[in-house]
Chain A
Amino acid sequence: MVVDAELGRFGDLLFGSALAVYVLAMILHAVEHGLLRRPSPAAAEARVPVGVGGGTGTDEAPVAPTDRTPRSRAERFGRMGVSLTVLGFGLHAAMLVVRGFAAQRVPWGNMYEFTAAISLVAVAAWLVVLRRHPDLRRLGVFVLLPVIVLMFLAGTVLYTQTAPVVPALRSYWLVVHVSAAVVSSGILLLAGVASCLYLLRAAHEANPGRLAWTSRLPGADVLDRVAYRATALAFPIWTFAVITGAIWAEAAWGRYWGWDPKETTAFIAWVVFACYLHARSTAGWRGRRAAVINVVGFAVMVFNLFFVNLVVTGLHSYAGVG
């Protein structure tokens, strides 16, 4: 396998550009957030978008008033932030494509690429949410922050040069298993953010004196629904990732399940998200408790990515770091 080092460096350049554009987009969203007026309780009630979470798409969004009145400053900043996010997404996607061509394989063969791919999926999921529910734009800063942290860690701590993968990874299951893990992790990142914000916002709604800044967030019910939809979408994909991982392990390691640290943590995450989905449809567990479980699940995913790859030695030690 020939590695095109020149192309690999171009990929690094694209990665840096994407990260910079995301940072700029986050700043614009932060300004947007700062400019938003705190709504009076009545207005807050009215602003909980009726159509949010609905499937009928953008036509339910309250666009009518904004078309007539000149755009507020907050809105202009927010729109710029979205445009930059789209630009960053393009650069980010191009980076992975370039990296794949440079290494002549799928661009998720080590931890740097894996983390970059997860961030890309998270941004993609965010853009899909935005397209269907533009009024959630004010969440931009909170979604971009973890993405930027992830990418920063990927670019500094986890960075590895373009290279082919070890024989154990040369299998079409690398395409199937790891891409499923990437897609589900990216979507679960969004779900985790939504549940964290839900907890803050719900605390504010229970006692309006606390966490006053969260009054600029969408209502707790909206955040709850975003978290649920994202998790309900990602959970079967995560299940698929675990199952294909077991199929691959059967071919590569001689058993379909062997309690390798990565397998164990994937199992724990699966159980926690199963808990969340059950809790959300159980009286007395909806709302705060379910959201806490989802945040725990998110924490397990982060643990799985960093601790298990970097600290624990197991069969999944493909990080290529160090």
Chain B
Amino acid sequence: MTTTLPQAPPDDAGPTPPSPGPARRLLALARNTWRGLTSMRTALILLFLLAVAALPGAVLPQRTPSPNAVDDYLTANPTLGPLLDDLGFFDVFATPWFAAIYLLLFVSLIGCLVPRSWEHLRGLRVEPVAVPRNLARLPHHAESADDDDPDAVVERARRRLRGWRVAVRSEPGGVRTLSAEKGSLREVGNLVFHLSLVALLGGIAVGELFGYEGQVIVMADGSEFCNSGIYAYDSFRPGMQVDGTGLDPFCVTVDGFRATFRPDGQPDSFDAAVRYQDAEAVQRGDGAWQSHGLAVNDPLRVDGERVYLLGHGYAPRFTVTFPDGQQRTGLVQWRPVDQATLLSEGATKIDPPGVTDEAQRRRSQLAITGLFAPTSSGGGLVTSVFPALNNPEVAVDVMRGDLGLDSGRAQSIFSVDQGMVDQGRLVRVARENMRPGEQITLDDGTLVRFDDVQNWVSLQVSHDPAQTAVLLAAIALLGGLTLSLTVRRRRFWVRAAPAEPSTTDRRTVVSLGGLARTDRAGYGEEFARLAADLAPPRDEGPPAPSRPTRDDDGEDDDGR
């Protein structure tokens, strides 16, 4: 970023200028604002503000990854919670104040990058600066006498300094000089780093606009999911420019799921066997399916979408045999309430078959609701002791009456509408623990059997068209950063002057000087090597490599 003086110089340098017109004043104000915004000090403060503003995002629960934790926090802090909520502290990274900080920061960054890139390009065309008058004053210095004439010495130096930017000049009295610079990659790296940051932000923004994320639960019994629209999902988070149409209509079939656990109940592996058809195959309709093993850390990538295995759980299957002999089977996912033992809760809701009378139907709907334990403790109160299906058991209430499915109110698939229960329109008719194959008989002769248990998997489909661009920007960012922190900018000078015949029998006096322009260490060694090659110490000559030199030539003069 641009280096500016702590105080920008006053606009009107002259003594008591004639009062400027309002247009000029406005212009001056704009210019000063721009200067202030693009100054390093402002950028630093904005950068620090960014860190401070992000802090609540780490300390407080956030809606984006964990909405339930936010609700818990709000319940636990009834006074402070709503205030923080109004200020956006539970959604820090979507708040206007957070956006204001990073947008200002990026404006400041761009306002500083553009002139700086320009300056760097111009600087590349400028020749390396002329040799200082007194090389002995530089932090790195060496002197020697040589048998070649100055031209040959300079030519030799030029060949040795391959890869440096070199300028050869002449001084009066037959003196030849050479100036060399190296390390412009430092500034290149610096610019690449900052430009990549801008590109990264752009990529993130594109992803937010055109990406989407949807979750869906699929039974692992050969059930199929197709990415045909938002309705196919249980939950869907579209980007701002996504309306849910025109999704790539690929299809996934989940044929099976296997989880293994260690003896202490820790999960050991999750694998779902899936088949899929990409959008093209679906449109061709030739039924060509490809197989894939979906696992944690191993998503399915199809058509620019990714399908992830996010979770799994159990769905108990119940068969209800009505007194007239008709059967209905209910298979609905129950949700784990304890991730360690996969104790699950849920409600399997069943409509009686063949009932056309609405009033009659509202008296005879059934719900089987309660707890499911994959490995039951075996007691009267069902709890789960292990997450695998070793000893499954359900503890259910069978409710009969009006489920309220046509009441127009949305209801959870994991529970019955408590309002209906409170109004007495949904009544418990049985409470029982059952193992697979067991059944209970209700008062009207209806049989409810717990058949078996099916696995379900929770899949997430993610789409982000800019993901690859973001990755490339990140790689460029890292490369630029590494260059800008490791490359040393340094200068090297040679002066070859014809020797005074009275002092030596050599033809040329060679003086070398070196200056590292950044405070990275190590130029001393390189300079010593250069000096050994270009001005090797002679037996009779003056001692060549001079004082052991300080390596740090003052501070980093990057002036960012």
Chain A residues at the B interface, C-beta cutoff of 8 Å: 50-51, 53-56, 60, 163-164, 166-168, 170-171, 173, 225, 228-229, 232-233, 235-236, 239-240, 243, 246-248, 250-261, 264-265, 267-268, 271-272, 274-275, 277-286, 293, 300, 303, 308, 312-315
Contact = CB atoms under 8 A, between A and B. Distances in A.
7 contacts: A55-B524, A167-B296, A225-B552, A228-B519, A256-B464, A258-B65, A282-B44
Interface string B249-286: 00000000000001000111110000000000000000
Contacts of B462: 254-255
B29 interface: no
> Do most interface residues of chain B lie in helix, strand or loop, or is the interface mixed?
mixed
Contacts of B481: 235-236, 239
Contacts of B422: none
Interface string B50-65: 1100110111001011
A254 B44 CA distance: 33
B297 A251 contact: yes
Given A170-B297, A239-B478, A282-B40, A55 B48 contact: no
Contacts, number: 161
A313 B310 CA distance: 17
B299 interface: yes
A51 B64 contact: no
B3 A283 contact: yes
Contact of B44 (A167, A168, A229, A279): A279
A240 B270 contact: no
> Do most interface residues of chain A lie in helix, strand or loop, or is the interface mixed?
helix
Nearest to B523: A55
Interface in B277-317: 295-299, 306, 308, 310
Contacts of A235: 481, 485
Interface in B367-421: none
Interface in B499-535: 519-525, 528
A298 to B, nearest CB: 13
B236 to A, nearest CB: 13
B483 to A, nearest CB: 10
A254 B525 contact: no
B47 A281 contact: no
Contact of A268 (B58, B485, B520): B58
Interface in B172-207: 204
A236 B485 contact: yes
B65 A259 contact: yes
B437 interface: no
B559 interface: yes
Given A51-B548, A255-B213, 15 more contacts: A50-B550, A53-B521, A56-B525, A171-B297, A239-B477, A250-B306, A251-B299, A265-B58, A272-B51, A275-B48, A281-B556, A281-B560, A282-B3, A283-B3, A285-B41
B478 A240 contact: yes
A166 B267 contact: yes
Nearest to B459: A254
B14 interface: no
Output the residue of A235, A278, A282 with the most chain B CB within 10 A.
A282
Interface string B17-61: 000000000000000000000001101100110110011011100
A4 to B, nearest CB: 15
A236 B462 CA distance: 29
Nearest first, the 4 closest Cβ-Cβ pairs linking A and B are A55-B521, A54-B551, A55-B522, A271-B51
A308 B61 CA distance: 12
A268 B6 contact: no
B471 A247 contact: yes
Nearest to A228: B519
A55 B528 CA distance: 12
Output the residue of A60, A167, A272 with the most chain B CB within 10 A.
A167
Contacts of B69: 313
B467 interface: yes
A50 B295 CA distance: 58
Nearest to A251: B297
Contact size range, B: 35 or more
Contacts of B360: none
A168 B267 CA distance: 10
A278 B520 CA distance: 15
Contacts of A248: 297
B460 interface: yes
B470 interface: yes
A167 B267 contact: yes
A254 to B, nearest CB: 4
B410 to A, nearest CB: 26
A278 B310 CA distance: 41
B85 interface: no
B474 A55 contact: no
Contact of A275 (B44, B64, B92, B267): B44
B243 interface: no
Contact of B57 (A56, A253, A264, A293): A264
A264 B58 contact: yes
Contact of B51 (A53, A275, A285, A308): A275
Contacts of B298: 251
A41 B418 CA distance: 81
Interface in B59-90: 59, 62, 64-66, 69
Contacts of B482: 236
B555 interface: yes
Output the residue of B43, B50, B559 with the most chain A CB within 10 A.
B50
A166 B339 CA distance: 13
Given A235-B485, A260-B65, A282-B560, A167 B54 contact: no
A284 B270 contact: no
A171 B471 CA distance: 19
Interface in B311-363: none
Contact of B269 (A167, A254, A314): A167
A170 B266 CA distance: 14
Given A254-B462, A314-B65, A278 B485 contact: no
B213 A254 contact: yes
A236 B296 contact: no
B93 A259 contact: yes
A168 B269 CA distance: 9
A88 B493 CA distance: 48
B127 interface: no
Nearest to A272: B51
B6 A283 contact: yes
B558 interface: yes
Contacts of B58: 261, 264-265, 268, 303, 308, 312
A228 B558 CA distance: 14
